[in-house]
Amino acid sequence: MKTALATVSISGTLEQKFAAASKAGFQGVEIFENDLTQFPGSPRDVRLMAADHGLEIIALQPMRDFEAMPEPMRSANFYRMQKKFELMHELGTKRTLMCSNVSPYSVDDNARAAADLYELAELAKAEGFLLAYEALAWGRHVADYDKSWDIVKRADHPNLGICLDTFHMFSRGATLDCMRNEIPVEKIALVQVADAPYLQMREILQYSRHYRCFPGQGDFPVVEFMKALKEKGFDDYVSHEIFNDDFRASSPEDRAVDGMRSLIWLDQQSELPADHTPEELVDDVEFVEFAVAGESGEELVQLLSQLGFEETHQHKSKQVSLMRQGDINLVLNREPASQAHQHFEKHGVSVCALAFSTPSLKKVMKRADQFHCARFTNQTGPGELNIPAIRGIGDSLMYFVERKPVRFFELDFEPLETTRSGSSAGLIRIDHIGQTVASTDFLSAAFLYKSLFDFNVEASQDLPDIYGLVVSRTALNQNKRVRIPINMTTARSAAAQRFIDTTHGSGVHQLAFACEDIFKAAECVPAHLHLDIPANYYRDLQARFQIDNKLLARMQQWNILYDRNEDGEFFHFYTREVHGVFCEILQRVGNYDRYGEANAFIRLAAQSRAVGNH
């Protein structure tokens, strides 16, 4: 499979788009005509610039409103296309994309459309060009790809083929039957792949212009499409054509990498057998690393101490210590010459890295390289563990550790004498880690976990903040011991944006710790750290769940929230924010497997009040 990117898919100037596509590993580009029209140089300059970046210009697109038009528009269209052919020669491309007609003047006549396309294909043949005819999902008379195929088949010209675009196909609910059973591979002139969330929108044009995304980031059956394409023996370019507001407002380099990552994922997924079981590349959270320094760093240390954590180990050669409780490892990095300190200088006290345990370092790092993940190399001393890492969400890192034969802290750290006088809160493990990202990175963040680790990514949910909506979706591994809720908002004063403003970028905003006894944990945490929950919440809780009065009173005393479903119960409470980060303590009863989403609006409102009263 050869890979290409339509220039409309990413932001920037044409030169920036070429540079980003080339750096990400694409072999070709489709030139969106707007990009060419606004370019200050000549088409020949564009051709040379593409060549300098090692890119083939695979198509000029799109050509609109051509077929089945009355005179004098028909003659004007042929004149216009002749001028476009001249342009194509200067660009050095041999293919053009033609969209089905949306003009109110067009005639609903497949035979006439086929005749017009045949006549144009004859002119294209003389120029050495190939026409790719595409059914726009909002085409006036041709909106479904089986109808565009009927027209291409009627025209029956070797220089005319069909363009298969997954958005136009699946946004109208098309099946793959026509593609599988009727369209020969030699008549597929261009393939464009785009995904999208399933939305019920009356205006497909608006759906197309704002909600497309890379394959694997949405809900369309793009893997099945690619399997069917491969079964036909297709071996030409597969190209992205993405219209997305967030893509156009973000880094072209980052989005180009996302695009290449999605094609690699699509290619791999289409090769898997139907009964394939994903391999567990990541099986647990090994540690969370904080960048800390000065008095502000000690505020965090104090919070963690009040949650029952204690410093148990000190690094042999660096200003790095380890706090532990149960099977939870929190690394405090105060080392001045480190990536953590750079993170602190930019983001303040914050989580600078997550470490995941893996059954096979070799496999997970090979996968990271395949998916164009940037590696990070740490400074290690003699005999110290060199933990491999990649760049993660925002400016953070992801480390990977094999737990056997020993844990990471048994090699690089010295145990400390513990002096805890208070009782432990009984926290046993990290249940989930919440990350907040800018809206432009929301799809990218979830797809990183999906593509790299084969995590499942749940459908998005809207969480009502008092200042707007927070959108959340959770990525989780196969054994559900790694759960990463990812949040974003476009509301300027909502909690997710408040975090980004506080920490100057995307990062971890929540650490959720599981315990065995929620009331014991609540009693061990100082009352001033608890996030206050209004009494009205507990009156509503009683009405919904008919909770025993004594139990309800204990829950209200300790600001404990509650949820229940057919699988079990969920108790949880929150701490106040420290440097934008808050902790959640939770207890799952029975087989409850959610996150108490029904309580999110209570938590978000309480956090807003706490920040306002601080």
CATH number, domain containing residue 55: 3.20.20.150
Phi, psi of 22 (to 5 degrees): -65, -45
**Residue 422 domain-assigned (yes or no):** no
Same domain? 295 vs 248: no
Is 566 annotated to bind a ligand? Reply is: no
Taking each helix axis as running N to C, give the angle between helix 600-613 and helix 495-503, from 0 to 180 degrees, rounded to the nearest 10. 50
With a cut of 50, say whether residue 3 has pLDDT above it. yes
41-55, 72-86, 151-165, 383-397: segment of lowest average pLDDT:
383-397
Using CB atoms within 10 Å of the CB of residue 327, give its burial: 0 to 12 exposed, 13 to 18 middle, 19+ buried: middle
Share of the chain above pLDDT 90, in %: 89
**What does the block give as tokens for 497?**
């944006």
Last residue of a domain, one of 415, 443, 458: 415
What DSSP state is assigned to residue 591? T
Cα–Cα distance for residue pair 566/544, rounded to 1 Å: 14
CB 22, CB 259: distance < 8 Å: no
- Answer yes or no: pTM beyond 0.75: yes
pLDDT at 404: 77
Write down the pLDDT at residue 614.
45
The verdict on residue 90 lying in a domain is yes
Q: Looking at the structure, do residues 533 and 394 belong to the same domain, yes or no?
A: no
Mean pLDDT of the chain: 94
Same domain, 398 and 486: no
Query: Locate tokens 């009693």: which residue?
Result: 523
Residue 207 burial (10 A CB sphere; 0-12, 13-18, 19+): buried
Work out how many domains the chain is built from and give that number.
3
192 annotated binding-site participant: yes
What does the pLDDT average to over 439-444? 94
* Alpha carbons 116 and 57: distance in angstroms, whole number: 26
Phi/psi for 201 (5° steps) reads -125, 135
pLDDT at residue 537 is higher than 50: yes
Query: Quick check: 76 pLDDT over 80?
Result: yes
Got the DSSP string for 452-492? Answer: HH--EEPPPEEEEETTEEEEEEEEE-TTSS-EEEEEEES-T
Average pLDDT score over residue span 131-141? 97
Instruction: Quickly list DSSP for 312-379.
Output: EEEESSSSEEEEEETTEEEEEE--SSSHHHHHHHHHSSEEEEEEEE-S-HHHHHHHHHHTTPPEE---
298 alpha carbon, distance to own chain's centre = 34
Confidence of residue 481 (pLDDT cuts 50, 70, 90): very high
131 and 200 belong to one structural domain: yes
pLDDT classification of 74: cutoffs 50, 70, 90:
very high
Please, are residues 371 and 451 in contact by the beta-carbon 8 Å criterion? yes
Looking at the domain assignment, is residue 421 inside a domain?
Answer: no
Q: How far is the C-alpha of 150 from the C-alpha of 160, rounded, in Å?
A: 12
* Number of Cβ atoms within 10 Å of the Cβ of 494: 23
Domain boundary among 356, 387, 415: 415
Burial of 184 (0-12, 13-18, 19+ CB in 10 A): exposed
Residue 27 token pair? 């072999």
Rounded-to-integer distance, Cα 396 and Cα 90, Å: 45
Phi–psi pair at 126, nearest 5 degrees:
-65, -25
Instruction: Name the one residue in this structure whose structure tokens are 């010459």.
Output: 337
Q: In terms of domains, do 50 and 82 share one? A: yes
In whole angstroms, give the CA distance from residue 304 to residue 306: 5
Residues 130 and 241 in one domain: yes
Q: What distance in Å separates the CA atoms of residue 607 and residue 581, rounded to the nearest whole number? A: 11
Assess if residue 277 is contained within a domain: no
In this model, does residue 324 exceed pLDDT 60? Answer: yes
What is the average per-residue pLDDT within 1-23?
97
Examine the domain organization and report whether 244 and 357 are in the same domain.
no
**pLDDT digit string (tens) for 15-61?**
999 999 999 999 999 999 999 999 999 999 999 999 999 999 999 99
The reply to whether 420 falls in a domain is no
Does residue 573 lie in a domain region? yes
Write out the residue range of the structural domain in which residue 555 sits: 427-613
Please tell me whether residues 238 and 292 are part of one structural domain.
Answer: no
In a domain, 397, yes or no: yes
How confident is the model over 513-530, as a mean pLDDT? 95
Here the tokens at position 508 are 């971890």
- pLDDT, tens digit, for every residue of 277-293? 888 999 999 999 999 99
How far CA 339 is from CA of 347, 350, 391, in Å, comes to: 12, 12, 11
Cα 175 to Cα 142: distance, rounded to the nearest angstrom? 16
The answer to whether residues 263 and 320 belong to one domain is: no
Number of neighbouring beta carbons within 10 Å of residue 410: 11
Res 337: pLDDT: 86
Q: pLDDT tens, 139-152?
A: 999 999 999 999 99
Within a domain: residue 276? Answer: no
* 369 and 483 within one domain: no
DSSP letter at 94 equals -
Question: Does the structure show a pLDDT above 50 at 443?
Answer: yes
Looking at the structure, do residues 458 and 552 belong to the same domain, yes or no?
Answer: yes
Tell me how far apart the alpha carbons of residues 534 and 559 are, in angstroms, rounded to a whole number. Answer: 8
Model confidence at 504: pLDDT above 80: yes
Chain centroid, CA 504 distance in Å: 20
241 is in an annotated binding site: yes
Say how far apart CA 483 and CA 440 lie, in whole Å. Answer: 22
Residue where a domain stops, chosen among 386, 415, 444: 415
pLDDT at residue 420, as a whole number: 57
Average pLDDT over residues 382-401: 87
CATH number at residue 375: 3.10.180.10
Output the pLDDT for position 380: 62
Residue 435 known to bind ligand: no
Mean of pLDDT values over 589-595: 97
Sheet of 413-415, strand order: 375-376, 389-391, 397-401, 350-357, 284-291, 328-333, 320-325, 310-315, 413-415
- The yes-or-no verdict on residue 470 having pLDDT over 70 is yes
Q: Would you tell me how many other CB atoms lie within 10 Å of the CB of residue 501?
A: 12
**Mapping DSSP to helix (H, G, I), strand (E, B) and coil, where does residue 271 land?**
coil
299 and 205 together in one domain: no
